[in-house]
A = this chain, B = another copy of it.
Amino acid sequence: MLSERRLEVLRAIVQDYVGTEEPVGSKALTQRHQLGVSPATVRNDMAALEDEGFIAQPHTSAGRIPTDKGYRLFVDKLAGVKPLSSPERRAIQNFLDGAVDLDDVVGRTVRLLAQLTRQVAVVQYPSLTRSTVRHVELLSLAPARLMLVLITDTGRVEQRMVDCPAPFGETSLADLRARLNSRVVGRRFTDVPQLVQDLPESFEQEDRGTVSTVLSVLLETLVEETEERLMIGGTANLTRFGHDFPLTIRPVLEALEEQVVLLKLLGEAKDSGMTVRIGHENAHEGLTSTSVVAVGYGSGDEAVAKLGVVGPTRMDYPGTMGAVRAVARYVGQILAES
């Protein structure tokens, strides 16, 4: 195992490199950190760290930079999560408190995260699968045409058209609306199918077709919309990526445009606790030179969706993790209140 001091050297290298964006040499290290040893000793330690694969040199006779493995060790063992300052906390709360609806909450969250971390922020809309039904509404638009509106406890609204096989009277409609709501309100989406299974049977023969149709549209909505939506922001921060630009930024922007990729990315994050994926740990090819910090958030104790940031592997991990965690908490609170 690596000695205490060698870990300290690694920590110093990571910190300096994150700050300067330039390979860090042994002399500079001893000057900027109180390691209590000479550059020569540090060089020996560096050689050892390089043998183990934690750092590398871009070219002979340049300083060292951390490898993905080095960042991993740093994140796992050497770095804590840096809590935000209380002015920052207040700013977050103030900013999020002004939101008027769900879109607004998500939008503000994205901007906030992007600003705080100076990186690209990704926020997933609260998922339908894990949330519960607040209300189901049925509106008659034409004799044989209904609109189904589904409202979730996270404030999300989905609407669908329903073409009925037969005209459906206002009284039947009110009846269906009432029965449907009494069964599903407050229930989780995953439970809905069983709960409404036998509903058609309790209706007159002539209405059963329509009731079945309505139900199938409802169930479809629940499943279909498991395909989540998300919002991203702060892409301008990518321009601070590095010097070798175009080649670096291109694949990242492309990856960010693919909702599927991002959803998979967030999906891979653990439900609770924070997940940090560094460089090549990310499956997607365009993101092998980026790190992703993600965390779940929710209105209660359970996560209903995830949010996170995407940035260069050379990022301020403690600070980023702190910001991500704090934002997730506040968003959770906001959702719980509304």
List the interface of chain A (C-beta within 8 A of B): 100-101, 103, 134-135, 137, 139, 141, 147, 149, 151, 155, 157-161, 224, 229, 233-236, 238-239, 245-246, 249-250, 253-254, 256-257, 338
Contacts and interface: CB of A to CB of B under 8 A. Distances in A.
Contact of A250 (B239, B254, B257): B239
B257 A234 contact: yes
Contacts of A101: 158-160
Contacts of A139: 135, 137, 151
Given A103-B229, A253-B236, A141 B135 contact: yes
A239 B247 CA distance: 9
A57 to B, nearest CB: 26
Contacts of A135: 139, 141, 147
Contacts of A151: 139, 147, 149, 159
Contacts of A338: 161
Considering the complex of A and B, which 8 residue pairs feature the smallest CB-CB distances, nearest first?
A236-B253, A239-B250, A236-B254, A157-B159, A135-B139, A157-B157, A245-B245, A235-B253
12 contacts: A101-B159, A103-B229, A134-B141, A135-B147, A137-B139, A147-B151, A149-B149, A151-B159, A234-B257, A235-B235, A235-B256, A235-B257
